[in-house]
Chain A
Amino acid sequence: MPVKVRIPTPLMKLTNNQAEISAEGATIADILNNLESQFAGIKERICEENGTPRRFINIYLNEEDIRFLEGEKTPIKDGDEISIIPAIAGGVR
């Protein structure tokens, strides 16, 4: 059951400029691995070596931050939507 993953602008050069990717998996960790198999190099941009998201990137399952759910072990169900949201700094002086 594929779910929709929203890719933030700073990572879109790794996804051939696609803002939405379809990925499969039972948990967030599965989804991240599936993304990596589709677009090599994307996982290390999102996660530390131990697989947890980097501290300046948050992952949301629908509207909820996975840190307040079960982290990377959070289960995914059909129709869910995953968003990867990095900190952005620009006010663009």
Chain B
Amino acid sequence: MTDFTDEQIERYSRHIILPEVGGVGQRKMLDAHVLMIGAGGLGSPAAYYLAAAGIGHLGIVDFDTVDLSNLQRQIIHSTERIGMLKTESAKKTIAALNPDVNVTTYNERISSQNIKELFEGYDYIVDGSDNFATRFLINDACVLMNKVNIHGSIFRFEGQATVFHPKKGPCYRCLYPEPPPPGLVPNCQEGGVLGVLAGIIGNIQAVETLKLVLGIGESLSGKLLIYDALNTEFRKLKLKRDVNCPVCGDNPTITELIDYEEFCGTA
């Protein structure tokens, strides 16, 4: 039907028997190009499950190396990989899980200089970054290049997830026009996080990505999902495109990429 090997038919059988997926859907996944920004708390579970699902072309961007303090949540790495590049570690784990996945690693820090080149060739950008400078840069590049941005973020026991679909819904700047000044809100590794929370939100990003690839269900575009782990509560708030948005509004003032100051020293 869609040129699978016997091994693939068996590997993806639980997908293929789903009427919403089928052989056609599995082929879409194998042909999809998804770029994962960060192989950290969110990127580990998201990339791991996307690979298991058979996303055929997975790019992973990260410049960091595996640290012992990462392993409380970054399940794509392991104790014996401490000191290894996260991109290499992720690639090894994925290769052991599913040889169908063609992993491309980008061991670099994202900036306005390289982001367009990185995004070229990918349709879906999964934002698992850890700071505002990178998140705004990813958003702006997605709007300017018309890429779907699957967004997740976590703090302590609380997580947020949404989909920013250019031309179909709001973007990150429709929510928050500018990054906060340093010191007013927690950034990066300040404050700690329940490790499993990264798994929940990263996997919601993976589910949203697969739905978009398959063209099924209703995406989180236009909705902000908030998960409160302490009270076991999921809430959905409505997000609207802001006609005055500086980047995706009717008269955009941001037409070139901006590098904000990275006030935590990582990207």
Contacts and interface: CB of A to CB of B under 8 A. Distances in A.
Contact of B237 (A54, A85, A91): A85
A92 B198 contact: yes
A64 B238 CA distance: 6
Given A65-B239, A92-B73, 11 more contacts: A55-B180, A63-B238, A65-B237, A68-B240, A87-B153, A87-B180, A89-B132, A89-B153, A89-B185, A93-B38, A93-B70
A45 B62 CA distance: 33
Given A10-B185, A93-B41, A93-B189, A88 B179 contact: no
B231 to A, nearest CB: 7
B150 interface: no
A55 B154 contact: no
Given A55-B178, A91-B152, A63 B185 contact: no
A92 B196 CA distance: 12
B185 A87 contact: yes
Interface size class of B (residues with CB under 8 A): 35 or more
Given A60-B237, A65-B240, A85 B226 contact: yes
B116 interface: no
Contacts of B156: 9
Contact of B186 (A45, A67, A88): A88
Contacts of A83: 226, 235, 237
Contacts of B178: 55-56
B157 A9 contact: yes
Nearest to B159: A88
Given A58-B175, A64-B238, A92 B180 contact: no
B187 interface: yes
B155 A19 contact: no
A54 B184 CA distance: 10
Which of A68, A83, A93 has most B Cβ within 10 Å? A93
Contact of B180 (A9, A54, A58, A60): A54
Contact of B130 (A54, A55, A64, A93): A93
28 contacts: A9-B155, A9-B156, A9-B157, A19-B231, A56-B180, A56-B185, A58-B175, A58-B176, A63-B236, A63-B238, A65-B238, A67-B242, A83-B237, A87-B132, A87-B185, A89-B130, A89-B131, A89-B132, A89-B188, A90-B153, A91-B38, A91-B43, A91-B128, A92-B40, A92-B73, A93-B38, A93-B70, A93-B130
Interface of B: 38, 40-43, 64, 70, 73, 127-132, 135, 152-158, 160, 175-180, 184-189, 191, 193, 198, 224, 226, 228, 230-231, 235-240, 242, 266
A25 interface: no
Interface residues of A, number: 25
Contacts of B40: 91-93
Contacts of B38: 91, 93
A71 interface: no
A47 B129 CA distance: 27
